[in-house]
Structure 1
Amino acid sequence: MDQIIVQKSDWKDEFWENPWEKGGLAVIGLFITTVLLLILFAIVFGWLQRIEDNSYEED
Structure 2
Amino acid sequence: MDKLMTKNMWNEEFWQKPWDQGALVVICLFVTMILFLIVFAIIFGFLPPFEKIDPCEES
TM-score bucket (shorter structure): 0.7 to 0.9
> How far, CA to CA, are the matches of 2:24 and 2:32 in structure 1?
12
Which residue number corresponds to residue 10 of structure 1? Answer: 9
TM value normalised by structure 1? 0.74
1:27-58: CA deviations, max 9, x gaps?
00000000000000101111113687xxxxxx
Q: What residue is the counterpart of 2:23 in the other structure?
A: 24
Q: How far apart are the structure 1 equivalents of 2:31 and 2:44?
A: 20
Q: Percent identity?
A: 47
| CA distance in structure 1 between the aligned counterparts of 2:18 and 2:40, rounded to whole angstroms | 33
Any stretches of 5+ residues in structure 2 without a counterpart? 52-59
Alignment coverage as a number of residue pairs? 51
RMSD, aligned α-carbons: 1.8
The runs of 5 or more residues in structure 1 that have no matched partner are: 53-59
TM-score (norm 2): 0.74
